[in-house]
Every structure is written in C-alpha cells, then in structure tokens.
Amino acid sequence: MQFELRKLSINDGMDVYEMLQEMPADENGFINPVKGMTFEEFKQWLIERDSFSRVRELIDGWRVPDSLYWLYVDGYPVGFGKLRHFLTEKLRKDGGHIGYAIRPGQRDKGYGTILLKLLIEEARKFGIDRVLLTIKNDNISSIKVALKNNGKIERVSEEKHYIWIDC
C-alpha cells in the first residue's frame, strides 16, 4: 500500500468532495464544514481554506490559521486532518493542534494512526516541537491512535483526554 499526505489545493476535485460528503458534519467534536455543500460551494471553500492556511497570525483577533491535508491510500482519499499552526490559551483547553477523521468505510484499517503520524511530521515542518490533542473520553479509538504515536496523557478532565506528542 502507498500512503500519501496531500495538502489541500484549490485544484482538489470530486474524489475529495465525495469523501467529505460521506463523513459526518460533526463527529467527536471534529467538524466537517463541507458536508451538504454543492460541488461549486466546495470549490469556493477550497480557495478560502487555501488562503486561510497562508496566514501566520491570529485572524479576526481570535481564529488560529491552520492547514488541511488529505490522506490517500493507493490514490484513494480515506481521511483528512487539520493542523493548527499555533495555539491560544482557549485552544489549549478546548482544541489542540491536530484533529482528523477517517472516511466511515475505511475505518479500523490503521489509517488513523498513519494519518496522525504524517500530521506530526507536518507539524515539525512548522517548527512545532510538540502537539496537543484533546480527545473526548468516549473516543477510545482516537485515544489509542494518539498513544500509538508516542502520546503522553497530560491529564484527563470530565470530558477529555489531553495528550501531548513530541514532534
């Protein structure tokens, strides 16, 4: 199998669009804003997201820029992830650096572990020394994925696990 992490591009097409339509709009706190969009709206969204990823400071005084990536396996998109370029105090409590999701029909194949590993490598390229994942306590699969990627549980609240991973 060949794995490839591709950064979002304004030229992304129907294969990515169809994947995003299969994925829930909100699952375990990870938001898929493309769910329910038309293909034309998706193409406009790609342009906006590409521009957003190029910003290096807070946007509107509070939004942190991030980059989106698609995980391809043998040329087929199976998941996507978001990498925040830095964190605010609020994101240290509620968000973390990385969020990701795997296409429903492609789960339980180890792709989440691979996607997170590749996103950690991208974080290193941004100069991030360690990444934070905040994972809902009932999302056992994602907690296991973080631990497989050498995650260290910093603390557990009533709602979330706070896991740090060295880049």
- CATH number at 13 reads 3.40.630.30
β strands within the chain, DSSP E: 3-7, 26-27, 30-31, 66-73, 76-84, 98-102, 130-136, 152-156, 160-166
Look at residue 29 in the predicted model and tell me its pLDDT.
80
Take residue 159 and report the two structure tokens written for it. 């709602």
Supply the pTM of this predicted model: 0.94
Mean pLDDT in residue range 110-120: 98
Q: Domain of 132?
A: 3-166
CA distance 120 to 125: 9
Bridge partners (DSSP) listed for residue 155? 162
Residue pLDDT, tens place only, 7-55: 999 999 999 999 999 999 998 888 899 999 999 999 999 999 999 999 8
Domains identified in the chain, total number: 1
